[in-house]
Amino acid sequence: MSSKRRIIQVGLAVLAFLLCVGMIYVTGRDNPDFADSIDYITAARMLVANGSYPAVGGLHFFRAPLYPLFIAGVWSIAGESVFAVKIVQALLHAVTTLMIFRAAKLLTTSTLVATIAGMLFALNPFFVYQAAAIQTEALQTFVMTLALLLLVKMIVSDGPFDLKTAAAAGVAFGLGALCKNSPLGICIVLAVAMAALCYRRKNSIAAPVLMIVVMFITILPWTFYNLRTRGEFILINDSSGFVAWIGNHPANIRIYEGKFASREETQQYQDYMAKTLAAEQVAEWERTKGYSGLSFKERESLWRQQAIENAKAEPGITARLIGWKLLAFWRPWLSSDIYSTKGMLISAALLVPLFVLGFAGMWLSRKQPRIRETVILFAILMLFVTAVHTALVSTMRLRLPNIDPFLTIFAAIAIVAILARFGTARIESVNRFLDSSH
């Protein structure tokens, strides 16, 4: 590695870390800053205290374990400190920035593209904010970027797919699934697509199969913990039924089509949906089905079946909800109901150019031999994640860890393509300078 490239990477990592530290102090160094934080902190405290894991969280399921385990791991070293968790997440943001740099360099061989991609990611306020909050997205972004980096490493390499890299990608996807369930499906879909796209290459079947197998091996210790402590074979957690119910409940339509007088009123209605309305449903099942005496899978099945019945009873509202959730997933700005009109406009000024440049970069890369397969796999990833979250629960923060990091790389490709219109020789000269040792 050239000395200049090393300096660039150190600079990007330091910049990313310092921005997160600044955000930590702006938002409150000891402030959990998120509604779900209570569940994660409670679970981490139990893990540190006696090694057990709660059977239910603030909602009607237990959380996937990786993030509480991550918090507990930090606390086992630093003591119970929200600030310590945030600092480690700032370090994760810095490392993820370096992974974006590495992935861009592998894809394009251009240090300029890699530098711009790393800079765009490091400066992205949404990633900086999530690193300063007690929520799963900072860790999820790290493991998903690692998984996709390993896929890129396999695809752009010469010769057969490397089985060690495939196994490492499987571990990354497994950890991602233990943080949020969606990487379970992402791994399988991308593995099948990779086998189909690269069928002429050696290990084109063995590597994707190994990736899937290792993913499940990574998850299985937690599955066996569930079997031992809950008496049921639960792969990760029991959230799918409740998530389908709350994401598709007819009352949800007011979130998208109603008007709220303030941020507080918006939050109150969301709390009503998640807590009051859910509690009323549980009370009804307690009277009719003995809900508290049911197994985890039986409860999950009840929520899922009720979601289906609600959709059948209100097909028009369900169709509108699907449309709204699709827009919510891809909306390139924050909600004005929660973050004010000013916040919405500022976020749009940041995200709209990223989207335009990102998709332009994908289009420009679609026929380049080194990048073509990655573009196709990334498009498949986007379609799959969109479909999953449109069917269940859909928010911008569920998009961020899976899509926006690599969209940043394609945005950097588009930026360099624009700059190249003023002289390809200058771009080549800059790349030679960045790759030189002196």
Write the pLDDT tens digit of every residue in 163-181.
Answer: 999 999 999 999 999 999 9
Read off the pTM: 0.94
Among candidates 249, 244, 224, which has minimal Cα distance to 234?
224
271 pLDDT above the threshold of 70? yes
Tokens of 50: 């006696």
Task: Report the SS3 class of residue 167.
Answer: helix
Cα–Cα–Cα angle for 128, 124, 19, rounded to 5 degrees: 45
The Cβ of residue 428 has, within 10 Å, a number of other Cβ atoms equal to 13
Query: By C-alpha distance, which of 128, 228, 137, 122 is closest to 182?
Result: 137
Structure confidence at residue 248 as a pLDDT band (50, 70, 90): very high
Instruction: pLDDT band for 337, please (50, 70, 90 cuts).
Output: low
Does residue 142 surpass a pLDDT of 80? yes
Query: Which structure tokens are listed for 20?
Result: 């997160």
**What φ, ψ does residue 290 adopt, rounded to 5°?**
65, 55
Check the CA dihedral 94-95-97-98 and report its sign.
positive
- At 299-329, the pLDDT tens digits run 999 999 999 999 999 999 999 999 999 999 9
Task: Report whether 306 contacts 245 (CB < 8 A).
Answer: yes
How far, in Å, CA of 389 to CA of 274, rounded? 17
Contact 119, 33 (CB under 8 A): no
Q: What is the DSSP letter of 274?
A: I
Statement: residue 33 has pLDDT above 90:
no
What per-residue confidence (pLDDT) applies to 266? 84
